[in-house]
Copies of this chain bind each other. A is one copy, B any other.
């Protein structure tokens, strides 16, 4: 099995992902928000690459069943129902709803990888579940870090490194690209105190400055769920073959 990491989606063309197995990571905060929404009973999360497309998609759906959500520069977009804080996506708010989600980095990365054969979303909270599923799949994996405005983000690369490390715990013949080797190394150097690491990243500091310190605490939790968001038919749903995922899926449909 080969593991490769891209530190930013701009490095690569969307056609590259055709026939690939891809994992998109956006630790702060889209990955966690998507997992939170699905965990709390959202029917699906539709990731979109532009605000305009978010409004267009939302406009074609029936009111009440759809929530238009997203952020620009960490803050909720005016007129949208929710921002991009996982804490907003409670069961009361999202249960049974289709979530249309636009975020500066994460949802754009997912849309870029849309031609993948298998496309999953990973955050720290479902990291081991994703790793174990990838081991079962036994395909080469492209880990796509959402990054920060087309540049490197430390927290995503560390999550990529932790994911790679978790895969290598149960899989022996893993071949790492340069970027994957770097991620593993960075996860060892910076990954011991995750909350502290998040608070010291560029993105973490901006979020704290905008009052989202509780989001950092939420996003720092490791392996608290088995839910794996899976992209199919332009929407993310809970991967049905995953154990906890299956039970949640039944709950929401």
Contacts and interface: CB of A to CB of B under 8 A. Distances in A.
Contacts of A53: none
Interface in A155-211: 157, 177-179, 181-182, 185-186, 188-190, 201-203
Interface stretch (A7-15, A86-94, A95-103, A236-244): A7-15
A230 interface: no
A50 interface: no
A177 B201 CA distance: 8
A178 B154 contact: yes
Which among A148, A152, A186, A201 has the highest number of chain B CB atoms within 10 Å? A152
A84 interface: no
A138 interface: no
A11 B178 contact: no
A226 interface: no
Nearest to A153: B178
Nearest to A189: B185
Main secondary structure of the interface of A (DSSP, over half): helix
Contacts of A10: 10-11, 150
Interface in A1-54: 5-8, 10-12
A151 interface: yes
Contacts of A152: 5-7, 11, 178-179, 182
Q: How many copies does the complex hold?
A: 2
A71 to B, nearest CB: 20
Contacts of A188: 189
Contacts of A202: 177-178
Given A177-B202, A202-B178, A150 B12 contact: yes
Nearest to A178: B154
A177 B185 CA distance: 18
A151 B186 contact: no
Contacts of A12: 150-151
Contacts of A154: 178-179, 181-182
A201 B186 contact: no
A40 B154 CA distance: 40
A6 B11 CA distance: 12
A157 B182 contact: yes
A128 B195 CA distance: 35
A-B pairs with lowest CB-CB distance, top 3: A154-B178, A152-B179, A185-B189
7 contacts: A7-B7, A11-B11, A12-B150, A148-B178, A151-B179, A152-B179, A178-B203
